[in-house]
Amino acid sequence: VRPVYAAPDKISDKVEESIKNAEAACGENPASGECVAAWDEVEELSAAASHARDKKKDSDPLEAYCKDHPETDECRTYED
């Protein structure tokens, strides 16, 4: 059984949610392990979100199309 993977848009929701949780967890005791672990989760999700953004940004629409349709006029390339 394959696990379900979240889409990049869902990471943004998760980041927002984790920040709220961290702020709540730190309200009681800012030096507690609970608070520190909550902010660590924020960092992990922010990093994941930024990596997902970078991946998305890199994709050229023509390149993506040509991967699937290499034989079309706009995609054909010859070595010589």
User: With respect to another protein, which residue has the nearer C-beta, 36 or 75?
Assistant: 36
Torsion angle of C-alpha atoms 5, 8, 12, 13, degrees rounded to 10: -40
C-alpha 27/C-alpha 75 separation (Å) is 57
Binding site for another protein (CB under 8 A): 2-3, 5-6, 10-17, 19-20, 22-23, 26, 32-51
**Shortest CB 73 distance to another protein, Å:** 26
Instruction: Tell me the closest approach of the beta carbon of residue 36 to another protein, in angstroms.
Output: 5
